[in-house]
Chain A
Amino acid sequence: MFGDKAFKALALLTLFILLASSLIGCGATPEPTAAPEATDVVAEPTEAPEEPTAAPEEPTEVPPTEAPPPEPEESSIVIAIPEDPAGFNGHVSDTGYEQMLMELTMLGLTDLDPEGNLFLELAAELPTMENGGVVVDEENWTMDVTWTLRDDVYWADGEQVTADDVLFTWDAISDPEGGIWAEGIDYTGGLEKVDDLSFTVHYTTTYPNYAMHFGGENFAVWPEHYCDASQGYVAWDCNREPLSSGPYLLEEWQTGDYISFVRNPNYFEEGKPNIDNILVRIVPERAVIKTMLIEGDADVYMWLTPTEIAELETLDHIGVTFSPTNRWTMRLIPNLAARGSIDPVAEPHPILSDVRVRRAIRMAIDTDLLTEEIFLDYNEPVWTELFRPPYVCEIPRPEYNPGAAADLLEEAGWTDQDDDGIRECHGCETAEEGYVMSMENMIYAEYGEELELAQQLIAEMLKDIGIDLELSIVEGPVLWADYESGGIEQNGDFDLNLWDDGYPGIDPTDHLWVYYYSAAAEPDYGWNVGRWYNEDFDYLLDEAYWLDEEYRKDLFCQMADILEEELPQIILWTEVDADGYSMRVEGVQATVNDIMTWNVADWKIVE
């Protein structure tokens, strides 16, 4: 039917395509990554019997063969995640999925439960001043912490987990060439081996978070005899082919498709884990993951949005677990320096440098309405950084009162004399006469539609008191890029931004430093991008690097008072942390102190 030449050309093309397909499509498919096979734990050599056992004189009758009992069917679950994890190392990438894989296979010394209680993994006991594990030199403000490891934890190849592994891991992390900055690194002078299962950490200061230094969601101990230090901590092969000490062994990794795990028969907790196989499926579209959960093709789905929670809670076969406390808080970041400047003293922001304006903005935002209408009441209003146990400070909830907010703006010299609905400066202290109260409000695109709606609603609320907001949505990598890359916040090129953050674990010290300490206002030195300077706050924060918990609580609450007084950030609400799971899986518990798989060894199938 085709013309000869056209047919030949088509045939040629088809042949080319088919050849390419068969050569590249099939031939180049990589071999899945597989972890080394588990071997039995090296057993203590048993003594040979002194007398050889005598052979029976009479041949015994062979019993009739019975059919072996059917092997029990292996239990398995599917965890669906929307993103390819970079590997098993939480220090290299922090999407949360690396931490999820890490919890399946690797152990640290300690970890936190959802309530914020510390529990032990590799550590035999928690060093304290009382048991002599922590020794403080009060003259030099330094301290030594001595850890002892459990003696019954083994790598999947049968080697024991020892202090050498911890020292090896820390050396690899601290290596300036192939390592990476990690929590505690700034305060660590060095590690010293005491014996095969003990080591001492020499700190250059008192470090209150020492108990989580070698644990938590990002830190794992890596095997010295298996990982190649010359490849560097961030790039070594073990990040993708780990040798397990945790409850599961990596079986196969098909990049972009799935990662499968099998139970570690040598896991140190007797009888655990309960589930034989775990399959992590990578499904980029979240709507598809939710559908798979509903249809029974996925068993666990992390980090539900409020809309998803509302839908899944109506289904009998799906459970939703909530973290007992929340971590992420949505906040407005007012720039106290003029736009494009990083000096709030020489060039103060014409509108936001006046604390009365910041206070008026907060009073005009109805956080109850926002959390109810957009976040379906799953998010909760909060108004201070210090709202999480163990550091909960009694800061009275600010009232929502647009009338009082308008009065405050009048008092600050911002009035609407031309009756266009937007205030202008008429006697204000921070701007020229007639300066219009109009600003840009930025959010980051990755959050999605709910934040866009919140941004619009906030703009409407502020419009009601005569503040005009121009709304923008930018990509996170643009908003938060470093100074040289033109990062909007590091360069101070914004008025009022809206985004969320919160600290992992239970120690807010570093979080407060990064966001509020004066030195953190320098470009690329921290994230005090509102450029707020307060010496009293700096002093209190310096003091907080101490071990006395009661004293620290007092210090943190004094800091909370200062933040409440000056409002360098306007804290609005805290975001729900919830995971969805099939009701056939028991034991899933959401947490903000770690990742969903923090207790995976305890999960069970209950058909």
Chain B
Amino acid sequence: MGRYIARRLLQAIPMLFLLSIALFLLVNLAPGGPLAGHGRTRRPNPEKAEQLKRQFGLDQPLAVQYVVWLVGNDWMNVDADGDGIKESKGTRRGILRGDFGFSFKTRKPVIEEVGERLGNTVYLMTVTLIIVAIIAIPVGIISAIKQYSFFDISVTTLSFMGQAIPEFWLGMILILVFYVWLKNPITGESLLPPGGMKSMQPGFDLWDRIQHLILPVTMGAVGWVAWYSRFLRSGMLDIIHQDYIRTARAKGLSERLVMSRHALKNALIPLVTILALDIPYIFAGSIYVELMFSWPGMGRLYYQAATGRDYPVLMAILIFASMFTVIANLLADIAYGYLDPRIRYE
């Protein structure tokens, strides 16, 4: 297994390299550019545009821009002041040495921008995923065991609704109900806050943090719960009609044991795989949830970078997401081999 993991990781290096070229081209060749469309100065002054191009490195050919992004320019002379003479060494070190450049918007190092947001997104998405697992797994199992019961039909209906409801609209409704309509009967304040990670108050308040999590987690979880529960129900239904389940019953095992030891174990295999493949979402976040509930996370950063053509930030997020996807795929494969004895990685 160790050799398999090492081989997969080595294979990932050229894949990520090719991916980085493709992403760089896609990002840079997309229509439009970073010099226009910001705020009120939609059409920048020509001299300013020229200066910005030089500062952003956009005055170089695309191939040079990629090389600088990858390995930096501190080994080559650059024309930093626009006088046409390449008189000084550049200051970029390239992503291979941990320098993702600076944000065109804030001029802060990209790694700092990402670092400020990543933790917030992991926090929100982890809680969401745990809640999803806690709800979806039992719901899926019971739906399958009690197929066509009132519970199953209700859950099926709700699942379809959960998958069909536009996430953004759901967020608006949650705010309307829990922030505008429903009030705390004692204090008269809104039942739940409309957004943010915490209230402005000194110290750590667990209940305050939980209150701020309820609505965004609900918005993010509804679609996932619906999808996971349907998936598990379907897997369970496939399995409980297999011959070995009938054999187990014929041996005289209790229904509980049949379900837990023989059916669920096998039904969970594909779910675990899917769960592993969803790990990148934990780092990438959800744009809609973060926008709606003012959550300062990666999804919002990505949205801002994409709409503002902040290439360095965009590239950093895409590269991180690619890396997490590669790792998640590997984890899924390992988990699959671990759970299913028929699969051997040699």
Residues of chain A at the chain B interface (Cβ within 8 Å) = 1-6, 8-10, 12-14, 17-18, 20-21, 24-30, 83-84, 86-87, 92-97, 176-181, 185-186, 234-235, 239-240, 254-258, 260, 279, 281-285, 287-288, 291-292, 295, 297, 444, 446, 475-482, 485-487, 499, 501, 514, 524-527
Contact = CB atoms under 8 A, between A and B. Distances in A.
Nearest to A519: B46
Contacts of A18: 126, 130
A288 B31 contact: no
Given A13-B335, A28-B119, A279-B200, 14 more contacts: A2-B260, A3-B265, A14-B133, A18-B130, A28-B115, A30-B112, A83-B304, A95-B38, A234-B55, A256-B120, A284-B291, A292-B194, A476-B42, A501-B42
Contacts of A27: 119
A190 B34 CA distance: 31
Contact of A10 (B195, B196, B268, B279): B268
30 contacts: A2-B268, A8-B338, A9-B272, A13-B272, A13-B335, A20-B122, A24-B119, A25-B120, A25-B126, A26-B119, A30-B116, A83-B304, A86-B105, A93-B39, A176-B81, A177-B81, A256-B116, A256-B120, A256-B301, A257-B294, A281-B196, A283-B294, A285-B291, A288-B292, A444-B42, A476-B37, A477-B34, A478-B32, A479-B32, A524-B49
A12 B108 CA distance: 37
Contact of B294 (A8, A279, A282): A282
A6 B339 contact: yes
Contact of A526 (B39, B41, B46): B46
Contacts of A180: 48, 51-52
A9 B37 contact: no
A186 B48 CA distance: 11
Contacts of B113: 255
A482 B35 contact: yes
B272 A25 contact: no
A257 B200 CA distance: 10
Contacts of A282: 294, 296
B89 interface: no
The 8 A-B residue pairs with the shortest CB-CB distance in the complex, in nearest-first order: A3-B265, A256-B296, A95-B39, A485-B33, A480-B36, A477-B32, A25-B123, A476-B37
A524 B49 CA distance: 8
Contacts of B268: 2-3, 6, 9-10
A561 to B, nearest CB: 25
Contacts of B39: 93-97
Interface stretch (B4-12, B150-158, B172-180): B172-180
B36 A487 contact: yes
B199 to A, nearest CB: 10
Contact of B48 (A9, A181, A283): A181
Interface string B80-94: 111100000000000
A5 B195 contact: no
Nearest to B127: A21
Contacts of B272: 6, 9-10, 13
Contact of A25 (B119, B133, B196): B119
Nearest to A515: B43
Interface of B: 31-43, 45-53, 55, 80-83, 102, 105-108, 112-113, 115-120, 122-123, 126-127, 129-130, 133, 172, 175, 179-180, 190, 194-197, 200, 256, 260-262, 264-266, 268-269, 272, 275-276, 279, 282, 290-292, 294-297, 300-301, 304, 307-309, 335, 338-339
B264 A480 contact: no
B42 A480 contact: yes
Nearest to A257: B296
A258 B291 contact: no
A476 B40 CA distance: 11
Contacts of A281: 196, 294
A92 B37 contact: no
Contact of A482 (B36, B123, B269, B294): B36
A21 B126 contact: yes
Among B49, B294, B307, B335, find the residue whose CB has the most chain A CB atoms closer than 10 A.
B294
A92 B80 contact: no
Nearest to A488: B31
B265 A5 contact: yes
B40 A239 contact: no
B309 to A, nearest CB: 5
Among B55, B82, B180, find the residue whose CB has the most chain A CB atoms closer than 10 A.
B55
Contact of B300 (A94, A256, A444): A256
Contacts of A260: 200
Given A26-B119, A86-B106, A514-B45, A181 B51 contact: yes
B126 A481 contact: no
Nearest to A237: B108
Contacts of A482: 33, 35-36, 49, 53
Nearest to B105: A86
A465 B66 CA distance: 52
Nearest to B47: A181
Contacts of B36: 476-477, 479-482, 487
Among A2, A178, A255, A283, find the residue whose CB has the most chain B CB atoms closer than 10 A.
A255
Contacts of A258: 196, 200
A223 to B, nearest CB: 19
A20 B282 CA distance: 9
Contacts of B48: 180-181
B47 A487 contact: no
Contact of A235 (B37, B80, B107, B338): B107
Contacts of B120: 25, 29, 256
Contacts of A446: 37, 307
A226 to B, nearest CB: 18
B304 to A, nearest CB: 7
Contacts of A93: 38-39, 105-106
B157 to A, nearest CB: 26
Among A3, A8, A486, A526, find the residue whose CB has the most chain B CB atoms closer than 10 A.
A3
B27 to A, nearest CB: 12
A81 to B, nearest CB: 11
Nearest to A176: B81
A97 B301 CA distance: 17
Contact of B106 (A87, A288, A527): A87
Nearest to B35: A482
B10 to A, nearest CB: 22
Given A96-B39, A482-B49, A17 B107 contact: no
Contact of A480 (B37, B80, B290): B37
B278 to A, nearest CB: 10
Given A476-B37, A482-B36, A86 B107 contact: yes
A25 B298 CA distance: 12
A99 B123 CA distance: 32
A24 B283 CA distance: 10
Contact of A288 (B119, B269, B294): B294
A94 B279 CA distance: 37
Contacts of A24: 118-119, 122
B76 to A, nearest CB: 16
Contact of A17 (B35, B106, B126, B260): B126
